[in-house]
Amino acid sequence: MDIKGFQFSAVEAAIKKPGRKDLALIYSEVPATSCAVFTTSTVKAAPVLVSAERITAGSAQALLVNSGNANACTGEMGMFVSRECSHLVASGLGIPEEAVQVASTGVIGVQMPMERIRSAMPALIEGLSSGTLDEMAQAIMTTDTFAKMEARCGQAGGKSYTVAGIAKGAGMIMPNMATMLSFIITDAKVDAAFLDRAFRQGVDTSFNVITIDGDMSTNDTCLIMANGMAGNRIIASGSPEAEQFELLLHDVLLSLAKQIVRDGEGATKFVEVRVNGAEHDADAKRAALSIANSSLVKTAFFGQDANWGRIFAAVGYSGARVDQARLSLCFDNVCMAENGVFAGGDAEARGTEVLRKKEFTVTVDLGLGSGAATVYTSDLSHEYININADYRT
Amino acid sequence: MDIKGFQFSAVEAAIKKPGRKDLALIYSEVPATSCAVFTTSTVKAAPVLVSAERITAGSAQALLVNSGNANACTGEMGMFVSRECSHLVASGLGIPEEAVQVASTGVIGVQMPMERIRSAMPALIEGLSSGTLDEMAQAIMTTDTFAKMEARCGQAGGKSYTVAGIAKGAGMIMPNMATMLSFIITDAKVDAAFLDRAFRQGVDTSFNVITIDGDMSTNDTCLIMANGMAGNRIIASGSPEAEQFELLLHDVLLSLAKQIVRDGEGATKFVEVRVNGAEHDADAKRAALSIANSSLVKTAFFGQDANWGRIFAAVGYSGARVDQARLSLCFDNVCMAENGVFAGGDAEARGTEVLRKKEFTVTVDLGLGSGAATVYTSDLSHEYININADYRT
C-alpha cells in the first residue's frame, strides 16, 4: 500500500503489559488538511481536550497515540502529560506543537507513565523510516482480537490516490460519536471544507450507527489527514472526482466500523438491524438503537433464540411512534411476525436457522411512513462479562 | 396476616411447565377503591389494554393473573382471551365483568392456552376459600427465585388495618413504569383521590427507581385495591392518619421493589446508586440511571473491580450537566475520586473491599447544585446470560 508522504512507527513503551507495542506515531511529510470528531460525552479525556482545540486550525502533521491508558479522569496532570507528549513529538520532528494530534485508549482514571513515554520517544521517531500502517493498527489494540485496517484507491485528474484507515474498538462502543479511535489518512489533495463535510457525513453513517454495549467512551476520536502528496488536482465540492472520493471514504469508514462490531467484546454474531416504515428517519434510528442496545435482545441473539417478542418490546419503549398492530419483523428473509403477531407456519424453525448464522439481518417495519435507519451490533455473551469483570487486572 | 375481606387462590393451569402454579386470583368480598399504573411502552400486552380501560372507573373487585405467557403481541385473539378470562371470573364470582382486572407475565408473542384456563377456572374459584397471599406470590413467579411479599399494619380511628403486597420481577426491569407485576391490597378504607395520589407518588420512588437490565416490559402493572373492610374512619388527604398510611404504603412498595432488584436475573450484588449535587433532581436521576444501566459498570460490579472510571464515563454520556473537574465518587464511605481524579492512598484496596460485599452504595457528587436521586440496581453476571439465552426453551 502506497500512501505518499506518510510515515509510521510503533514501539513498546511499557504502558500495557510487556510484549505488546503501545505507542505509535503517524507523520505526514507536509502539513495535512485535517478534521476530527470527538466523543460527545461531558467527561472527556485529556488528549481529546488537547486535540479538539488544535484541530480547529484545520491542519495536522502528526498523530501520537497510545493504548493501555486512556488518560481520562486524570485532571491537570493528565492535561500536562498530553501536552508534554505532543511537545516531545514536535521537537523530535521539527514541526509546531500545534500540528501534533494526540489520542489515548485504555484504562480510565490512572495517571500516564510520562517517563516511560519520554524514554521511548527517540526510538519512536527513529522508527518512522521503517514502520508500517499495519504495525500502527496493532499498537492501538486493547481488547481487540484483530487489527482493523481498510484502504481504497481512487483517481483524480490522472493521478491515483489512496484512502486508508485504522481503528480500534471492542468495548465502550455506542453511536452518537466517533468510535473509540480511528485514523484515516489519504495522500489526495482535498479542499478543506469539502473534506470536513464528506468526513462528518461519512462518520454519521458508519461509526455513528454501530453499538456494542451502549457505553460511550471518554476518548472517542476519529481523525482524517489529507496531505495532498498524490499530486492530484484538488478535489472539492462539485469537482468531477468529489463523488468518488466520498464513496471511497465512506467505504473505508464503514468497513472499519463493521470490523469494530465484528470484534465487539465477546461478540459471536454480527447483526444488521434495519428499521423501515417509521414516521421519520430519527424515529427509525431510535427504534433500531433500542433493539441493538437491549440486553435481552442481545442475549437472545447469543442464545440463537428467535425471540422476536423481545424485539417488539424494545421497539415499544424506544420512544418512536408505534402502532403495535402494524409491526412486522423478519430475520433475513424469514418473516417472523406480521400485523403485530406471530406469522405462524414454520417461521419459528426457519427463524432459528437464521439466528444460527454468524451474520444476519433483523428488519422491523413500523408500517407508518418512509423513515428508515440501519444500525450494526453484536450479541451479548459470557465472554463480554469475562473480559469486563476483570479488565483492569 | 389478616387482610379483611380479601380471598386468594392459585392453581396449575398448565400454562407454564408442569408442577408449578400459574393462574391466581385475588377477590375482594366488596368492591374496592382501586387504581393502577401500567407500562409506558407503546407495545402493550392485551391484559394491560383491558385493565387500563376498566381501572378508570376507580374500582375493582377481582384480579386474575397468570404467569408463563405475557399475552403480548397476540393481536385481536389476545384481546379476546383477556376479555373471555375476565368474563369467566365475573360469572364465577357473580360480579360485573368491569370489576375484574387481568394481568399476565411470561413469554411474548405466543397465544394463550384459553381452553386450559377455562378448564382450570372452577378449581380456581373454589380455591378462594382456602388460598393464601403467599400462594399467589408463588404463582406469579417466572424467572424469580423467591416469592416477593411485604405487609405493614397501621391504625386509623382506633381500627387496625393492613397494607400487603406481592410482586414478581427478575428481567425486563427498568424504571419509568411500574414493575413487571405488583399487586397491593389493603383493608383500610381510603378516599379514592388520596389513594390515587399516595399510590402514584409511592410507585415513583420505589418501582420507578429500580433497574435490572434497562428493558421495559410490555406487561408492567402495579395495582392497589382498598376494600375498607377494616371498618376505619376513611383516610383522606389531611386526615390525621393520612401520613402514616402514605408511609406504610411506601414501605411496602419500596420493600417489594428492592426484593425485585435482589432477585434480578443472575444478580449477585444489590447496589444503591445515589447521585447528589446535580443541577436539579431530573439531572441526578439521569446520571444515576446511566450508571445503573451501563453494561460496563454492572460487569465491573460483578467482577468486584473498583473501576470508578467507568462510572464517570457513564455520567459523562448521561445527558446530565457535568463539570468533570468537580466529580467525586465513593463506594460506601470510601472516597475513590475527588475533583474528577483518583483519590489516591489506599482507596483502591479499600474500594475493592466494599465491592466484595453483597450490598453496597455508590455515591457520585456532581458538585453543581442540590439535585439528588437514588436508583437501585444489580450487577450483570454470567447467570443473566444463561437465563436469557434460552428463556423460551
Contacts of A322 in chain B (CB under 8 A): 42-43
Does residue A215 sit at the B interface (CB-CB below 8 Å)?
A: yes
pTM of the model as a whole: 0.81
Q: Where are the domains of chain B?
A: 6-260, 270-389
- List CB contacts of B237: < 8 A, sequence separation 6 or more: B191, B193, B194, B197
The 3 state secondary structure assigned to A22-77 is CEEEEEEEEEEEEEEEECCCCCCCHHHHHHHHHHCCCEEEEEEEEEEECCCCCHHH
Mean pLDDT of A322-334: 94
Instruction: Please state, in angstroms and rounded to a whole number, the distance separating the CA atoms of residues B237 and B161.
Output: 17
Report the range out of A66-80, A207-221, A350-364, B291-305 with the highest average pLDDT.
Answer: A350-364
Q: How far is A199 from chain B (nearest CA, A)?
A: 23
Give me the amino acid identity at A156: A
Percent of chain A with pLDDT over 70: 96
Q: Tell me if A332 sits within 8 A of A290, measured CB to CB.
A: no
When scoring A40, A49, A73, A331 by the number of chain B Cβ atoms within 10 A, the one with the most, hence best to mutate, is A73
CATH superfamily of B6-260: L-amino peptidase D-ALA esterase/amidase (3.60.70.12)
Residue B177 reports pLDDT greater than 80: no
Residues 130..189 of B with a Cβ closer than 8 Å to A: which?
Answer: 171-172, 174
Residue B199 reports pLDDT greater than 80: yes
Residue A6 reports pLDDT greater than 60: yes
Residues 64..83 of A with a Cβ closer than 8 Å to B: which?
Answer: 70, 72-75, 77-78
Residue B157 reports pLDDT greater than 90: no
pLDDT number for residue A114: 95
Is residue A205 among the annotated active site residues? no
Mean pLDDT of B140-158: 86
pLDDT number for residue A49: 94
The CATH number, out of the four listed (3.20.190.10, 3.10.20.340, 1.20.1050.10, 3.30.43.10), of the domain defined by the range B270-389: 3.10.20.340
Q: Which residue has the higher pLDDT, B146 or A277?
A: A277
Residue A176 reports pLDDT greater than 60: no
Mean pLDDT of B336-348: 92
- List CB contacts of B53: < 8 A, sequence separation 6 or more: none
Report the range out of A31-40, A61-70, A81-90, A227-236 with the highest average pLDDT.
Answer: A81-90
Query: Residue B392: pLDDT band by 50, 70, 90 thresholds?
Result: low
Residue A372 reports pLDDT greater than 80: yes
pLDDT per position as a tens digit, B295-331: 889 999 999 999 898 899 889 888 899 999 999 999 9
pLDDT number for residue B187: 93
Mean pLDDT of A80-91: 97
In degrees rounded to 5, what are phi and psi of residue B29?
-65, -20
Q: Is A183 helix (H, G, I), strand (E, B) or coil?
A: strand
Nearest 5°: the CA angle B136, B139, B141 is: 115
pLDDT per position as a tens digit, B73-117: 899 999 999 999 999 999 999 999 999 999 998 888 889 999 999
Residue B173 reports pLDDT greater than 90: no
User: Distances from the Cα of A295 to the Cαs of A291, A384, B216, in angstroms?
Assistant: 9, 12, 11
CA dihedral A37, A39, A40, A43 (to 10 degrees): -140
Residue A393 reports pLDDT greater than 70: no
Residues 317..356 of B with a Cβ closer than 8 Å to A: which?
Answer: 317, 320-325, 327, 337, 339-342
pLDDT number for residue A104: 92
pLDDT number for residue A181: 84
- The mean-pLDDT minimum among A4-13, A172-181, A355-364, B185-194 falls in A172-181
Q: Is the ipTM of this complex over 0.95?
A: no
Report the range out of A150-154, A350-354, B108-112, B137-141 with the highest average pLDDT.
Answer: A350-354
- In the predicted model, what is the mean pLDDT of chain B? 89
- In the predicted model, what is the mean pLDDT of chain A? 90
pLDDT number for residue A262: 86
- The mean-pLDDT minimum among A313-322, B29-38, B42-51, B141-150 falls in B141-150
CATH superfamily of A6-262: L-amino peptidase D-ALA esterase/amidase (3.60.70.12)
Residue B194 reports pLDDT greater than 50: yes
